[in-house]
Structure 1
């Protein structure tokens, strides 16, 4: 009997030691706002003849002003010898309705598992952000705020990809990313006559290239200076073949006291299955963050897209936007904010035919210019809590 008790105590002690090496965290963000937008049209689709209709003003409650509302679980297990297993499961939802986002996926923001080495880096498998998206996050003035940063125009609608193998490494001041997706899992519907629907689930037998994607990026940061360079390519389905969506970027930032100034350039080119150019543009941005006090912060951002070819139109008006954000933190977890933006020749977030109206489609709130419209103004006040 005594031996049995000793064995039981030993097993419990061993279990406690094993569990002590595992770390699992529940986390999330709840972000809701009330917004006014003018000159709003409908998302073009076949059912309305690809006609955005007349201008209207919108007064609405939305989810995700500074951060997309989400909840997630992440964890690590120490495997010994400097090796850890890692995982992340992250779900997006609309705080105003409770409805799941990312096309109703349970873990549509991120879902991956992998191994992490103290000296060699991290290798992960699943639904993940692209390399260029991760690298440019440090140079996006509004930190990819849902209102009103042009994240889709900058990174492409494929900035999250299914079926992805990704490497992340940190070597002193140098950070590196590289990824490959066997099938991106993004479908962009037809939004104009003559413009094809693109994308799909990928991983088609006998068509290895179809819906695949890959990219790489690097960032160097030392002292007040940081710089990055990146490349991203997606080969979406177009009919039974595949086209190509290519992007390359460079960006830099410099910190002076409570201010951080940043800017960048992104080259873009999309071709259809017969190698005909659908979109060719040069996108530029510049902005700054200023922390006036420990609680009060400001962000200013200007974005400009030089449209060289938009589905055969070489004289399309170039979209631009200026955005301003003010935040006040009650604590490390809770803050309030004012976001406002004015766009020209595109809707807010620079959503337009050039982005396939993906921002409006994914949010369920239109930022589409009406027929004959050329500008849009938006103002939102919101509350965010992080846990």
Structure 2
């Protein structure tokens, strides 16, 4: 379920989503949980500012496993030229029951070669607390708990 409010340079969006496991339970904070998100954008000239908050809840998780996580993020896209957009963002996650917390910082750029073809590049670093092992990307390539990670991505997107 979602709702959107738009007025001039402001857009606010709220989303509520639920994903249950095979037994109908909310058993894993990052896979089978209740999710509530509110965020928005504000455009000022060539800059588009982003901010959001997300709460994840898995009340049926195993004893001692995380049952709640809170995400916060801020970002900006700045149109340097009609073809080149610079991107910067910061993210934070806090997880209960010893899941720890982490910060992710990223910078990047999008370059439009045409209306349908874009080049992109970004670099990011995640800084984990002693008990967290979040990665720059949502994969199974997580660092050891308490370790940091650096990642970079480049590519091309073409729309048909």
TM-score bracket relative to the smaller structure: 0.7 to 0.9
Q: Which has the higher contact order (CA 8 A, sep 6+)?
A: 1
Counterpart contact for 1:235–1:243, Cα < 8 Å: yes
One of 21, 32, 55 as aligned partner of 1:236:
21
1:320 is aligned to 2:103:
yes
Query: What's the Cα RMSD here?
Result: 2.1
Map 1:339-354 onto structure 2 (within 5 A).
339-345=122-128, 346-349=134-137
Corresponding residue number in structure 1 for 2:29: none
* Structure 1 gaps, min length 5: 1-215, 350-358, 361-365
Map 1:288-327 onto structure 2 (within 5 A).
288-309=76-97, 313=98, 316-327=99-110
Corresponding residue number in structure 2 for 1:334: 117
CA distance in 2, matches of 1:256, 1:379: 28
Cα drift, residue 381 of structure 1: 2.7
Counterpart contact for 1:243–1:275, Cα < 8 Å: no
Counterpart contact for 1:243–1:274, Cα < 8 Å: no
Runs of 4+ in 1 over 4 A off after TM superposition: 273-277
Query: Structure 1 residues 286, 302: closer, same or farther in 2, change over 3 A?
Result: same
Report the count of equivalent residues: 149
1:378 is aligned to 2:160:
no
Higher helix share: 1
Q: Could you say which structure has the larger radius of gyration?
A: 1
Normalization by structure 1: what TM-score? 0.36
* Structure 2 gaps, min length 5: 27-32, 129-133
Higher strand share: 2
Counterpart contact for 2:42–2:49, Cα < 8 Å: yes
Normalization by structure 2: what TM-score? 0.83
